[in-house]
Amino acid sequence: MTASPPDLTAGNDVTDRRTSFGRLVSALLVSQVGFYVAVITPIQLLLTLRLTAIAGDDAAGAFGVVAGVGALVALVVNPVAGRISDRTVSPLGRRRPWILGGAVGGAVALVLLGVTTEVWQVVLLWCLVQALLTFQGAATGAVVADQVPAARRGGVSGLIGMTIAVGPLVGLGMVNGFAAGSLAQWIAVAVVTALAGVIAVLLLRDVPGTATAEPWNLAALVRTFWIDPRRYPAFGWACVVRFFVTCAYAGNTYYSFYLLQRFGVSQERLGDLVLQLTLLSIVLIAVGSVVVGYLSDLLRRQKPFVVFSGVVAAIGLTLLAVAPSLTYVFVSAGLLGVGTGAFVAIDLAMCVRLLPSDTDTGRDMAIANTANALPQSIVPFIAPPLLALGGYEALFGFLAILGLLGVAAVTRVPEVGEPG
């Protein structure tokens, strides 16, 4: 356990302000829950309702554009956000200004989304939400590398992984209390997002930045987006694994349209049904992520759990592709929840273990996060042609194959304690 934060009012020269372990974990969890409330709740429900009201029958295509362009913005901003937080010198430290600013700024943009009347407005504001929340996410991920002891990263990674289910559950639970498609739904999401950022910053003690960073120029900007995989092959393969397996699980962004188009679910019933599927997933993700995270720390193994998650994802997606009834959809959601829990418990700890640098952790983690952001851009862009080619069977079947490619790629990653 790390030491309690030193007294900063004593006039001593403090070069290391680390958070006590309990407060650190609480801050990370609160920040991540707020992040996922802001990012996933609109993807799973609110954008579908907003675009259906604006674009009617063209809503599915418009959703692909909105989600794809927004994720592309997050992809570009991610490494820049990490690099900027590494170089930030402020009384709040390196990471806290961006956690707070990203959450509060993103909340404002979410409210504005609720009053859009044109598709281009939705695209523009969703890109702004993605950019601002990416700063929060990049800074939060860097705190894990900065302050979580190596021996406890599996357990912490498991707890953080659970937030990917808790966030949407909190968001969907709140918005279902308001009229479908109303501005109140967007305001509710925005309030939780902003509060989470404020609480996380109040809990966190930050490692201060220094003024010794190299000048910001074109060469430095280009290096922000690149880590040579020939010099750091283990980190490169970890990012490949993260990309393929995340692609497999990115199919859940089409749950709302899948239910509307495959089973004819009404808009009034859609929110409740998505909430039920999310509730099922959260229970299994929570159990899977916590158990697998601590098992990984205990056994000093990570790769078998990644293999398990990729295979389960492929099975769940295949079942979803051929589901003849909603019962099969719930079974598939359960399988995907188990697989997601196993993966998110290990994924973060594996990437942190293989970071190339101890000084540019924000930049390096942001590049790893790019492997998470890229599927959120690619899947919405490839979904329309796949749906046109072979319906949801083609879409989910293709994503299942990508999950198995992630399983193959993890064989190239060194296990805990192995050289490389």
- The CA–CA distances, whole Å, from 8 to 21, 204, 211, 232 equal 18, 14, 19, 38
Residue 416 lies in a domain: no
| DSSP secondary structure code for residue 215 in this structure | P
- Give the pLDDT confidence of 114-127 residue by residue, as tens digits: 999 999 999 999 99
Q: What are the φ/ψ torsions at residue 17 (nearest 5 degrees)? A: -110, 95
Would you say 306 and 350 are in contact if contact means Cβ atoms under 8 Å apart? yes
- Residue 65 · residue 123 · CB < 8 Å: yes
Contact 365, 355 (CB under 8 A): yes
Residue 415 lies in a domain: no
Q: Is residue 179 part of a domain?
A: yes
Range of the domain at 317: 21-410
Q: Which amino acid is at 245?
A: V
Which pLDDT score is estimated for 2? 40
Number of folded domains in the chain?
1
Task: Give domain status of residue 64, yes or no.
Answer: yes
DSSP secondary structure letters along 399-412 = HHHHHHHHHHHHTT
Give the DSSP H or E segment for 100.
Answer: helix 96-113
pLDDT, position 97: 92
Return d(Cα 96, Cα 377) in angstroms, integer.
Answer: 27
- Cβ contact 109:162 at 8 Å: no
- The alpha carbon dihedral of 386, 389, 393, 398 has a sign of negative
Which pLDDT does position 357 carry in this prediction? Answer: 67
Residue 101 binned pLDDT confidence (cut-offs 50, 70, 90) = very high
Q: If DSSP codes are grouped into helix, strand and coil, which group holds residue 347?
A: helix
pLDDT digits (tens, 9 = 90+) for 314-344: 999 999 999 999 999 999 989 998 888 888 8
Given a cut of 70, is residue 44 above it in pLDDT?
A: yes
CATH number for 44: 1.20.1250.20
> Is residue 2 a part of any domain in this protein?
no
Longest dimension (CA), the chain: 69
In sequence order, the 6+-apart residues with CB closer than 8 A to the CB of 246 are: 371, 372, 375, 376
**Is the residue at 10 inside a domain?**
no
Query: What is the rounded distance in angstroms from the CA atom of residue 212 to the CA atom of residue 205?
Result: 21
Please, which residues have CB within 8 angstroms of residue 181's CB and are 6 or more apart in sequence? 49, 50, 52, 53, 267
Q: Which of 326, 319, 313 is nearest to 406 (CA)?
A: 313
Lowest mean pLDDT, pick from 12-26, 204-218, 234-248:
204-218
Neighbour-count burial for 372-399, b at 16+ CB within 10 Å, e otherwise? bbbbbbbbbebbbebbeeeebebbbbbb
Q: What is the structure's pLDDT at 93?
A: 83
Cβ(30)–Cβ(196) under 8 Å? yes
361 pLDDT more than 80? no
Q: What is the mean pLDDT of residues 37-58?
A: 88
pTM of the full structure = 0.68
In this structure, what token pair is assigned to residue 209? Answer: 């930045």
Domain assignment present for residue 5? The answer is: no
**Residue 417 counted as domain residue:** no
d(CA 289, CA 353): 18
> Do 49 and 62 contact (CB within 8 A), yes or no?
no
Alpha helices (H) in 250-325, listed in sequence order: 255-262, 267-299, 303-322
86: nearest Cα among 242, 206, 253:
206
CA separation (Å) from 322 to 18, 208, 326, 328, 392? Answer: 50, 53, 11, 9, 8
**Residue 357, H or E segment:** none
> What tens digit of pLDDT does each residue of 2-24 get?
444 433 333 334 344 567 888 88
Residue 192 above 50 pLDDT? yes
